[in-house]
Amino acid sequence: MFYSSIGNYDSLSNAATSGARADAAAARSEVDSLKVDVERLLMITEALWMILKEQHGYDDKELIKRIVTIDMRDGKLDGKVAPEPPHKCPKCDRTLFKNRPRCLYCGEPVMPDPFQR
């Protein structure tokens, strides 16, 4: 009886190992996809900055100054954007839920913030 239960543990262990491998492969695939997205966004950002420099005369010092200003909103120069407090409904002043097109309480349409995280 003892030995038959060991066989059950082995098959459970194999199933768990198989599931973990599949999860790891899916995670690797998602990370690879995110890397491609980040590279594309970096290229777009660099192109936009080049346009601003060439057509409007901005310089790297101005960009760095703006980056530091945004970074310091939370009082820390840490390379992260400070989390924003929840937004309030312009009509009823209640807290809005993220990613909702209308206020849950009064139904007021809410314009999404394109920079909301």
Express each pLDDT in 71-110 by its tens digit: 998 889 999 887 777 889 999 999 988 878 899 999 999 8
Rounded to whole angstroms, how far apart are CA atoms 58 and 40? Answer: 23
Which domain range does residue 8 map to? Answer: 2-74
Per-residue pLDDT at 84: 77
The answer to whether position 102 is within a domain reads yes
Pair 63, 105 in one domain: no
Amino acid of residue 95: T
The CA angle 61-83-89, to the nearest 5 degrees, is: 115
What DSSP state is assigned to residue 101? S
The model carries a pTM of 0.57
Token code pair at residue 81: 């954007």
Tally of domains in the chain: 2
Pair 43, 91 in one domain: no
Per-residue pLDDT at 7: 57
